[in-house]
Amino acid sequence: MREIGIIASLSSETEARVILKEGQERVVKTEDLVFVRNRNGGDILAVLRKGLGSNENLNPGGYHPGVAYARIGGQPSTAKETYDFALSVIGEARESVSQNKRIVAPGSLVEIFTDDDNPMRLLAGGKHALTLGFYEGHSNWRVPVDASFIPYHIGVFASTGGGKSFLARFQIIPLLQKGGYDVLILDWKGRDYAPFFPKDNVLGISQIALDVDAVTGYLAEKMANFGYSAYGGTVTQALEEFIFAEKWRGLSVEEFQRVLEHSMVNSLNPGRTVSGRPFEDEHRFRRGLKRLRDVDIQSILGTNTSKDILEQVRKKHLSVIDMKRTGSSEKLSMFLTLANHLMERMHNDEDLNLALVIDEGPQYVPFKPKGIQEKTTDVIIDLCALGRTHKLCISLLSQGIAGEIGINAAVRRNLNTQFVGKIHPLDMIEVGNWLSPFNIDPKFLLSLPPGHFYFMGNMNPSPIPLLVTFEVPE
């Protein structure tokens, strides 16, 4: 510990300002952690933010000797120069940290933690064994995490390139596993997770069986709705019947194509007429069929059911679903199939001990969901609600928080632990609402380097957000 200054007048039990001792302004930085030896009793753990420098000789907007001197380019006097920081109280420290109720006395001494002291141990208080990353600037200060709040869900927010996927891969996922959760990762582009895990842990989306609703919707879309203006019509109905009969499961692509053609023509134009409605319907279908590529068929022929996927996750403790080279509707259809299965299990009162990592969150739960996204949004809200009591953790990553670039507000309210990194300027107001009470300037978040996040909410043992980061292994 090293003394850096004293508490200024107008302090309260949660906030104060520290006047720095001469020269300390060159070493003390925002986010540094300090101890206040409160003259009113107790030691207080606190964090420094929002520094302020002032020099009475240099007050702008008026003409006086100091300003006059500056105008002609002289070095002004530092006699009336002071530096201070706002201090946000984390809590009163004994064996662990608890809420501070006494006013921080003006004049109390303030000491800074040096690398060898470890304030994180105080925060952990012997209760929280698991940690995540480290406190910014101190690689030996591992940040403690309250694992009992894992099933209260996690939100990770930062603009593209802010380090969300890295945070998930190197910190959140290992933490969830240590907390006793098996992890299922949904890799939207197949680029952020799938290439970095053993092949045995990765499942291609085309290997996954979709439910019949998802398959019909998908095929109709690929066949341009058979020329109808929207989903529906005689030919689509015939397709539905074909798919719902499920005789096509387990076929190869060529077999599927043959069986589909045969049974559709039989149903649409059984008399093989060469004019009239049945003939036109047959041709509608044939035009659609021409559009259907082998890869489209391939992506519905998967045989792994949701149950199989869960069994694999149980066995290997971590699985990645690689969704590259498929359209959003297939991805979301697959997700719905899986989510419905998880809901069913929780309705049967099963504890899941499972964490779903959903990267590219706005694809599933946008600000204003449309079409299939309405279903994925609803089901994620339901998963969150039931997950709290059945040990299912939803970890959702998003490049935006609120509004057009963000995620659905009802989903956001369910993510009780948040990591907020470098944000998009459009999120300034939202972040201001969250962080200004803690003296964190939202503007500071516009320039955070990748991999730096404010950690806040349920899983953070500190009542105020902490700036955490992590190293990327070679």
Interface residues toward ligand ADP, by CB under 6 A: 158, 160-166, 450-451, 469-470, 472
Nearer to Mg ion, 163 or 465 (CB): 163
In the list Mg ion, ligand ADP, none, the entry touching 160 (Cβ below 5 to 8 angstroms by class) is ligand ADP
Least gap, CB of 422 to ligand ADP (angstroms) = 8
- Structural tokens at position 338: 């899986």
70 vs 405, beta carbon nearer ligand ADP:
405
Of the candidates 179, 191, 128, 174, which has an alpha carbon nearest to the alpha carbon of residue 473?
A: 174
Nearer to Mg ion, 165 or 377 (CB): 165
Question: x/- string (CB under 5 A) for Mg ion, residues 431-460?
Answer: ------------------------------
Task: Please identify, using beta-carbon distances, which residue of 142 and 390 lies nearer to ligand ADP.
Answer: 142
Helix 328-347 × helix 372-390 angle, to 10°: 30
Judged by beta carbon distances under 5 to 8 A according to partner kind, the member of ligand ADP, Mg ion, none in contact with residue 161 is ligand ADP
Q: Which is nearer to ligand ADP, 288 or 406 (CB)?
A: 406
Tokens of 144: 């403690």
Shortest distance in whole angstroms from residue 160 CB to Mg ion: 7
- Which residue number has the CB closest to Mg ion? 165
**Which residues, in sequence order, are CB contacts of 1 under 8 Å at separation 6+?**
35, 111, 112, 113, 114, 117
- Rounded to the nearest whole angstrom, what is the least distance from the CB of residue 161 to ligand ADP in the complex? 5
Give the 3-state secondary structure of residue 195.
Answer: helix
165 forms part of the interface with Mg ion (CB under 5 A) = yes
Please choose which of ligand ADP, Mg ion, none residue 219 contacts, taking the beta carbon within 5 to 8 angstroms, the exact cut-off set by kind: none
- Measure the CA–CA gap between 410 and 384, rounded to whole angstroms: 10
- Name every residue whose Cβ is closer than 8 Å to that of residue 170 and which is 6 or more positions away in sequence: 470, 472, 473
Positive or negative: CA dihedral 435, 438, 442, 447? negative
Which residue in this structure is represented by tokens 């540094």?
Answer: 32
> CB of 437: closest distance to Mg ion in angstroms?
29
Per partner kind, with CB cut-offs from 5 to 8 A, the member of ligand ADP, Mg ion, none near residue 366 is: none
Nearer to Mg ion, 165 or 395 (CB): 165
User: Could you say which DSSP state residue 361 is in?
Assistant: G
Could you give the 3-state DSSP secondary structure of residue 334?
helix
Residue 159 touches Mg ion, criterion: CB under 5 A = no
Q: Which does 68 bind (CB under 5 to 8 A by kind): ligand ADP, Mg ion, none?
A: none
Closer of 278 and 361 to Mg ion (Cβ):
361
Q: Which residue is nearest to ligand ADP (CB)?
A: 451
280-285, long-range: CB < 8 A, 24+ apart: 281/234, 281/235, 281/238, 284/226, 284/227, 284/233, 284/235, 285/226, 285/235, 285/238
Residue 333 beta carbon to ligand ADP: minimum distance, rounded to whole angstroms: 24
Within 188-233, residue ranges assigned H as helices are 212-222
CB closer to ligand ADP out of 410 and 472: 472
- At position 181, the amino acid (one-letter code) is Y
Kindly determine how many residues on this chain lie close enough to bind Mg ion according to the rule CB under 5 A.
Answer: 1
CB 59, min distance to ligand ADP, A: 41
Strand ranges (E), 56-146: 81-93, 97-98, 109-112, 131-135, 142-144
| Residue ranges binding Mg ion (CB under 5 A) | 165
